[in-house]
Amino acid sequence: MAKSAFVFKVALSDRKSIWRRIAVRAGQTLDDLHEAIFDAFDRYDEHLYSFYFPKPGTKGRARLRNAIEVACPFSCDDPFDAPQQNAAKTTLNRLGLKRGQVFLYLFDFGDNWLHDVTVEEMDVPADEGEYPRILESRGESPPQYPDLDEE
């Protein structure tokens, strides 16, 4: 296991005041990052997800449409909608990430929980403890199913 870690700030795209700071070992996968985000935002019902790495300078809907997609393992099993990469096989240290880079994480393609993931730190010394780990939280997590909770 890699002895260094990345630190990410994960914010809800439409509510930037709600965010989590998460450390993940460099040798862990995007699927591990997904699990950490899932836990950090108090979610309880699993859904499909994808990470999107937009081309620099793209904005709006083009950020997702023209981005490299790395999807959850279940999506990769569909031969008619096979994304470019499998999140469970994509380690962070092979992504070529840069400090300050922002990529996107979309959870639940029905409710569309979109997050901005910012690379805050790289090559942070990682201790022997468990990773990923939540370092800091700001703002209360909105309910996973807001319409159901309001009824």
Quick: pLDDT tens for 16-43.
999 999 999 999 999 999 999 999 999 9
End-to-end CA gap in the chain: 46
Q: What percent of the chain has pLDDT over 90?
A: 66
Residue 13 belongs to domain spanning: 4-150
Q: What local confidence, expressed as pLDDT, does residue 151 receive?
A: 44
The H-or-E segment that residue 22 falls in is: strand 15-25
Say if CB 22 and CB 133 are below 8 A apart: yes
Report angle CA 5, 108, 15 to the nearest 5 degrees: 70
Q: What local confidence, expressed as pLDDT, does residue 19 receive?
A: 98
Q: How many distinct structural domains can be found in the chain?
A: 1
Which CATH number fits the domain that encloses residue 138? 3.10.290.30
Residue 120 pLDDT > 60, yes or no? Answer: yes
Write the CB contacts of 42 (distance below 8 Å, at least 6 apart in sequence): 141, 144
Tokens coding 48: 């499909």
Please state the pTM of the whole predicted model: 0.90
